[in-house]
Amino acid sequence: MQVLTVCLAFVVALFQAAEPTGAAAIMESLLYGFEMAPASRTAGLPADAQRSLTKYRERERLFKPTIKRPDNLDGPEASGYFKRVGLERSLFCLFDRSDSLQLAEDYSTQVRLLYEWEGFADSPLTEAASADAFLAQHRNSVVAPYAQLFAGHRKLCAVTGLEGLDPQSDRGRRIAREADMQLGLARDAGYPLIRIVADYLLITRKCFER
């Protein structure tokens, strides 16, 4: 019994140690639709980011998805639904406005979210292209900085070793430059949490944290 307890404690500690902290934790929430990490995993960030996190968590408690729930929650359709709801929640929590839920719904239903990337660079590039299409039509939208962050992240993912794209090729280098440009625009837009994530991506060049 004692051995089992020790083993379980080790597994729990290992899992907790693997959970992202700081900017990485915020990145998961904003770009993959996770619920915001607890305060214990976001300590040490700048004061303006902490204030934004407090507001974000308050708005999470108010959020109610507008996207229609599918009848079947066991297949790819369900995965797409939960991804879109996660994206809608992130946008609603980021932008504290009277029309934020409508803005969040508009973006989260227009952008493409694939069921799986399956290790191919074209998958995040497809998602990035849909964000770029949104930006082309809504250049002055309140959510434009987020769309820049999303597109820049997906392009960064495409050049981090996924199949079908050589990062050192002309195309790979061009996509990397586009990613940096869009992440820079997102960083400089004046939203603390978006800035934190954009800076993190520009420095670490990471796509995933787990």
pLDDT tens for each residue of 103-160: 999 999 999 999 889 999 999 999 999 999 999 999 899 999 999 999 999 999 999 9
According to the model, what pLDDT value does residue 71 have? 79
Q: What angle do CA 76, 175, 191 make, to 5 degrees?
A: 75
Residues in CB range of 165: below 8 A, 6 or more apart:
121, 122, 125, 158, 159, 171, 172, 175
Looking at residue 10, its pLDDT comes to 35
Distances (CA, A) of 12 to 5, 7, 16, 28: 11, 9, 6, 20
**DSSP assignment, residue 206?**
-
State which residues of the chain have pLDDT below 50: 1-17
69 near 49, Cβ under 8 Å?
A: no
Q: What is the CA radius of gyration of the chain?
A: 18
What is the per-residue pLDDT for 5? 41
Quote the tokens at residue 159: 């050049």
Distances (CA, A) of 188 to 185, 193, 196: 5, 11, 10
The Cα 45–Cα 28 span in angstroms is 16
Q: Please, which contacts does 42-46 make with residues 24 or more away whose CB atoms are closer than 8 Å? A: 45/196, 46/192, 46/196
Which pTM does this prediction carry? 0.89
* pLDDT in the model for residue 101: 95
Give the Cα separation of 148 and 189 in Å (integer).
Answer: 10
